[in-house]
Each structure stands twice: as structure tokens, then as C-alpha cells.
Amino acid sequence: MPRLCKPAVSAPEYVITMEETLEFAERVHGGKPQLPLALRLIRNTGVQKRHIVQPIEKTLSHPGLTERNRIYEAESKKRCPEVIERALANAEVTARDIDAIIYVSCTGFLMPSLTAWLINKLGFRSDTRQIPIAQLGCAAGGAAINRAHDFCVAHPGSNVLIVACELCSLCYQPDADDIGSLLSDGLFGDAVAAAVVRGTGGVGIELERNASYLIPNTEEWISYSVRDTGFHFQLDRRVPGTMEPLAPVLREFAKDHSWDAGALDFYIVHAGGPRILDDLAKFLEVDRKVFRHSWATLTEYGNIASAVVLDAARRLFEEDTPAADATGLIAGFGPGITAEMALGRWAVDAPAELGNAV
């Protein structure tokens, strides 16, 4: 079965703390009637610090969409290669062993996709499939794992590289002062993550089943409004309550696999915010500590969009090694409202010979 190997993750060098976030919010949006509520919501996120690709003063300015997208291209090309090399090493494969690259990002736009640049610059084969995913937002990390699983099932013995590059700070809009925008300004951070799904062999989470689910008539709850100044993130106040309808979906998904979603050994879940994690624990009837890897990502990096599930997975790998056959759930949530779900178990064996290199 396809196996998710240890991810590699990198966060930019510029750091903004919770205290600094609150100070900047008061300075930039002082006097706005909605500011006190926004400050209280930001404090309640539990995000202690976030990493961003530019100094905060540059982040707070808006040089225009053209310049921001130029920065996105430059920073993604600067930061992705090193993370990819570590992910390949973690999986004990080389660039020549990769059959498909899934690139996910919702914070910048390139055409051709960065996948073409990566293939040319990092030694991937010219026949490597390119699968860019740009419009699933935070759910794209889970979707990438699921599409990699599907690809390996359809093409036995193949290996898929997943790359998530989320530079959320480049979407900051200085003039947006609604509650959703102000909360997002204190929640989202930047990061790059990568992981390999091996078709055979390796150490990691053996992927057994995946599924997607869309909550009907919620497509406007998380969205971008695309304007002259770029992407304007829109967040409906009902989003934090989405775990109540999604928890039964997760339960049924696990039940169809003869597993109990409330009695698994590990959970890798998108950390959209504290309410998401607390409610999921409540409705799955599990201790909130089972989401410790997601909580750690939220605290140390903020919401890093599609990269969250890969960072949470990395933390699982770096914790005490799970017992063989330990069962787990991977879940990403995002616009739609979309849930991308996977079930897998911890597996270790000797790597099989890689026959796809040329």
C-alpha cells in the first residue's frame, strides 16, 4: 500500500509574536469599533508566534498585486528546493524516483506551475506528472495526500512528491478591517512543507482509505474575493461551528473501514483555529490532547494553510515511534466547506527496490 513518509517543513526567518500582532493591530486599526472584539479573538487563538517571508513593516504595506506575486515567485523558488531535498532524503528516494509532483498553494499564482521549474532545476525526470492544486485552500494538504494515494494505487510502485508552499502574509490587505479579516491577520503564517508518498516500502503511515465531503451550501463561508489589490480572504462567522456536522462524517468514514474514529492511536488534523480542534474533540468524544501535534503547529506557526497537516505529521514522526499497526486519521478542512479524510496505520519494512529511476 502507498505510504506517507516523514515530511520536511521550513518556516521563514522573520517572526512576529502574539504581543507584536496585537500592537500592530491597535496601531493600524485603532479607533475601529470592531477592534476590541478582534483583539479578543486573536488572543484566544493561542498562536504564540508566526513566521513571515518579509520584515513586518514590509508585510504591512501593499506594493500592489504585481509586486506581491513577484515576491511569491521569488520566495517559493528560494525556499522549496531545500525542503524538497530533505523530504526525498526522509523517504530514501531521489528526484529520479519521483513519478508525480503535487504542488499545493492558495497564496500566489504561477503559470506554468512551480512544478515545471522544480522538474527543470532539481533533476526530476521530464516525464514526471504535474498536478498543481490552487483552489482548495487549507484542505489542499489533505487533498494532496489523498491524490497521491490515488495515483499510487492507479500506478503501482510509483512515488509521489507533495509540496505545500503557503505564503499567507502576502495576502494581507491593509484596508480590510472586518472581523474576519482582522482575525485572519492574527492567525495565518507562512511555511513550506514537502513529503513523499511511496508506492512501496519506507517508514510511515500506510494509507488505506480516503474520502472527500462537501457540506452543502457553504461555498461562501470561506472564500477569496479577487480584486485589483489581489486576494481578499473572506471568513464567515459560522465557520468555527463546522465540526458539528463534520464529526459524524468522520465517524461514518471510519466505521465503513471497521474502525472507530473516537478510538484511534493518532490524529493528524488541520489546525484552522482553537474552536475547530476543541469542537472536533467534543463531537468525536476524544481528549483534546490527541490533537497535540495540531495544537503545537497552531501555537508555534499559526494556521499555515495546506502545510498544517504535513507539519502535524512531521511532529508525529519525531515523537516516540508509534507501535506497528497503530491506526490513525488524517483530515484537512477548507473552502467549500470541504473535508479531505484519510485512514492509515503505522508501518515499517525494508524498502523495496525502486524500479522507476532512469
**Alpha-carbon distance 346 to 358, whole Å?**
30
**Alpha-carbon distance 164 to 76, whole Å?**
10
Catalytic-labelled residue, pool 80, 106, 138, 168: 138
Buried b (16+ CB within 10 A) or exposed e, 1-35: ebbbbbbbbbbbebebebeebeebbeeebeeeeeb
**Alpha-carbon distance 104 to 110, whole Å?**
12
Give the DSSP H or E segment for 202. strand 202-214
Q: What is the 3-state secondary structure (H, E, C) of 302-346?
A: CECHHHHHHHHHHHHHHCCCCCCCCEEEEEEEECCCEEEEEEEEE
Q: Which three cell numbers stand for residue 132?
A: 498543481
Give the DSSP H or E segment for 196. strand 190-198
**Taking the CB of residue 218, how many other CB atoms lie within 10 A of it?**
17
Query: Cα 250–252–254 angle (5° rounding)?
Result: 70
**Alpha-carbon distance 48 to 19, whole Å?**
8
Burial of 236 by CB count in 10 Å (0-12 exposed, 13-18 middle, 19+ buried)? middle
Q: Cα 159 vs. chain centroid, distance in angstroms?
A: 20
138 is catalytic: yes
* 117, 177, 208, 330 from 158: Cα distances, Å: 21, 47, 16, 21
Catalytic residues: 138
